[in-house]
C-alpha cells in the first residue's frame, strides 16, 4: 500500500491527465507536474502541486512518475529526450504509464526504463473526461503484481475499477480490444444515422428509435445527443481513436488476428482526420460520412 507521503510526478496534463492529476493532488500525494505546453499546469499549481521545468525535474522529485500522453513516441520523448525522466540521478523509481499504446511499444518502453534501473507498470484507462474528473476511470494494468500493489492506492485516486490483466502488454492489448468495441459502436451509429438522414428521417427521430431498442448502450445514448445537437466538443478526440485503430491493426498483425471490420473503420477515420476533424470528438466521424453522402454540414 503506497502511503500518501510517497512522492508522485505527473507528466501530460491534457484532456485526461489534468483531471487525473487533480485527483492525485486532492488525495494528498505530494505532487510534481510537467506539461510540454506550460499553461496547462496552472490549475495544478493553484492546487498546491509543484510545477517542474522538465520531465527530469519531475523524476528527481518523485518515487512514481505517471505519464498520460498522446502515444508511445511522446512517452519515449519524455523518458529519453533532452532533460528526460531517465536523466534523473538515482534508481528504483516506477514509471506508471497510463497512455494508450500498443503491447509491443509497452514492452519496448519496459526494456528502456529497466536499463536505467526503473520499473514499469502499464495502466491504460477506459472512461473519458467525465470519469477522469470524478475519479471513476477503469484501469487495465499490465505488469508485476508487486509493483501494482505498491501503486494501488495511487491508482485508486483516479479509478474505481482496477483490473490486473496479466504481465506487461496484457493491459495494453485489453485496452485496445475495448476501444475496438467503442470504435465499432461510433462507426455503426454514424453509418446508421447517415443512412436514415439521407433517406429523409430527422436525426432526432432516428436517434429516438435507436435508443428505444436493445442496441442502446450508455455510449450510444451520449453520442446520439452529440449528433443531434451537432456538438462535437472533444471528450475523446477523433485523432486519438484513429491512432488507436492503427494500434489495433498493428497488434492484430503481430498476433495473427484478422480484424477486417476494424481495418475498414480505420480507413473511415483516416478520411475524417485528413479532412480536418481530428480535434473534434470521435463521433464527428458522422459529420465526415454525412458530408460524403451529400448531407450538407452533417444533417
Ligand atoms: P490530449 O488532451 O491530446 O493530451 C495529450 C498530452 O500529451 C498533452 O499533455 C500533450 O502536451 C502531451 N504530448 C503529446 N506529445 C508530446 C511530446 N512529444 N512530448 C511531450 N508531451 C507530449 O490527450 P488525452 O485525451 O488526454 O489522451 C491522453 C492519452 O489517454 C492518449 O493515449 C489517449 O488515447 C488516452 N485516452 C484518452 C481518453 C479520452 O477520452 N480523451 C480516454 C481513454 C484514454 P501538450 O499539451 O503540450 O500538447
Ligand 1-lining residues (CB < 6 angstroms) = 12-17, 35-37, 40, 68-70, 74, 77-78, 99-100, 125, 128-129, 235-237, 240, 244
Residue to probe by mutation, ligand 1, list 122, 134, 240, 280, most atoms within 8 Å of CB: 240
Distance from the alpha carbon of residue 274 to the mean position of ligand 1, in angstroms? 19
* pLDDT at 295 (0 to 100): 84
Copy the grid coordinates of residue 29.
500525494
Nearest atom, ligand 1, residue 69 CA: 7
Interval 118-162: pLDDT, tens:
999 999 999 999 999 999 999 999 999 999 999 999 999 999 999
CA 38 / ligand 1 centre spacing (Å): 14
pLDDT over threshold 90, residue 268: yes
Q: How large is the average pLDDT for residues 52-76?
A: 98
**For residue 4, what pLDDT is reported?**
59
The catalytic position among 40, 175, 239, 243 is: 175
| pLDDT in the model for residue 109 | 98
pTM: 0.95
pLDDT on residue 162? 98
Output the DSSP codes for 7-54: -EEEE--STTHHHHHHHHHHTT--EEEE-SSGGGGHHHHHTTPEEPSS
Atom of ligand 1 nearest to the CA of 16: 26
DSSP per position, the chain: ---TTS-EEEE--STTHHHHHHHHHHTT--EEEE-SSGGGGHHHHHTTPEEPSSHHHHHHT-SEEEE--SSHHHHHHHHHSTT-GGGSS-S--EEEE-S---HHHHHHHHHHHHHTT-EEEE--EES-HHHHHHT-EEEEEES-HHHHHHHHHHHTTTEEEEEEEESTTHHHHHHHHHHHHHHHHHHHHHHHHHHHHHTT--HHHHHHHHHHSTT--HHHHHHHHHHHHT----SSBHHHHHHHHHHHHHHHHHHT---HHHHHHHHHHHHHIIIIITTSBGGGHHHHHHHHTT-TTT-
Closest C-alpha residue for ligand 1 atom 17: 74
pLDDT value for 281: 97
pLDDT in tens, 272-292: 999 999 999 999 999 999 999
Confidence label for 164 from pLDDT (cuts 50, 70 and 90): very high
Is residue 239 flagged as an active site residue?
A: no
How remote is the CA of residue 18 from the centroid of ligand 1, in Å?
A: 10
Q: Atom 16 in ligand 1: which residue has the minimum CA distance?
A: 74
Count CA atoms within 13 Å of residue 116 on its CB side: 19
Q: Whose CA is nearest to atom 42 of ligand 1?
A: 128
Q: How far is the CA of 198 from the centre of ligand 1 (A)?
A: 35
pLDDT at position 297 is 46
Quick one: average pLDDT of 166-182? 98
Q: Is the pLDDT of residue 189 over 60?
A: yes
Instruction: Give the confidence band of 298 by pLDDT, cuts at 50, 70, 90.
Output: very low
Q: What are phi and psi of 248, to 5 degrees?
A: -60, -45
**Ligand 1 atom 46: residue of nearest CA:** 37
| CB distance 127 to 14 below 8 Å | no
φ, ψ for residue 164 (rounded to 5)?
-90, 105
Q: 190-219, pLDDT tens digit by residue?
A: 999 999 999 999 999 999 999 999 999 999
| Cell 485503430, residue located | 245
* b/e burial code for range 280-295 (CB count within 10 A of at least 16 → b): bbbbbbbbbbbbeeeb
Burial letters 227-252, b for 16+ CB under 10 A, else e: bbeeebebbbbbbbbbbbbbbbbebb
Cβ atoms 119, 147 nearer than 8 A: yes
The per-residue pLDDT for 296 is: 57
pLDDT, residue 1, reads 42
Amino acid at each position: 500500500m503506497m502511503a500518501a507521503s510517497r512522492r508522485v510526478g505527473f507528466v501530460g496534463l491534457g484532456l485526461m491527465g489534468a483531471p487525473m492529476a487533480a485527483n492525485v493532488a486532492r488525495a494528498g500525494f505530494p505532487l510534481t507536474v510537467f506539461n510540454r505546453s506550460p499553461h496547462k499546469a496552472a490549475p495544478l499549481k493553484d492546487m498546491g502541486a509543484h510545477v517542474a521545468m522538465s520531465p527530469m525535474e519531475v523524476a528527481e522529485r518523485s518515487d512514481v512518475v505517471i505519464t498520460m500522453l498522446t502515444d508511445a513516441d511522446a512517452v519515449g520523448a519524455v523518458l529519453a529526450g533532452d532533460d528526460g525522466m531517465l536523466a534523473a540521478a538515482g534508481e528504483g523509481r516506477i514509471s506508471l504509464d497510463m497512455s494508450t499504446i500498443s503491447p509491443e511499444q509497452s514492452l519496448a518502453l519496459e526494456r528502456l526504463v529497466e536499463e536505467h534501473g526503473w520499473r514499469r507498470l502499464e495502466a491504460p484507462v477506459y472512461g473519458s473526461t467525465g470519469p477522469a474528473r470524478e475519479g471513476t476511470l477503469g484501469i487495465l494494468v499490465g505488469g508485476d503484481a508487486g509493483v501494482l500493489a505498491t501503486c494501488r492506492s495511487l491508482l485508486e485516486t483516479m479509478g474505481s475499477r482496477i483490473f490486473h490483466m496479466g504481465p506487461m502488454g496484457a493491459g495494453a492489448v485489453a485496452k485496445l480490444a475495448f476501444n475496438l468495441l467503442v470504435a465499432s459502436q461510433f462507426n455503426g451509429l454514424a453509418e446508421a444515422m447517415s443512412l436514415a438522414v439521407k433517406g429523409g428521417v430527422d436525426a432526432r427521430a432516428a436517434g429516438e428509435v435507436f435508443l428505444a431498442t436493445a442496441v442502446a448502450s450508455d455510449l450510444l445514448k451520449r453520442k446520439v445527443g452529440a449528433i443531434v445537437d451537432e456538438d462535437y466538443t472533444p471528450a475523446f478526440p477523433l485523432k486519438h481513436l484513429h491512432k488507436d485503430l492503427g494500434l489495433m491493426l498493428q497488434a492484430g498483425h503481430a498476433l495473427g488476428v484478422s480484424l477486417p471490420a476494424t481495418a475498414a473503420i480505420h480507413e473511415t477515420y483516416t478520411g475524417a482526420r485528413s479532412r480536418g476533424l481530428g480535434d473534434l470528438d470521435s463521433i464527428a466521424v458522422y459529420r465526415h460520412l454525412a458530408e460524403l453522402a451529400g448531407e450538407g454540414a452533417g444533417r
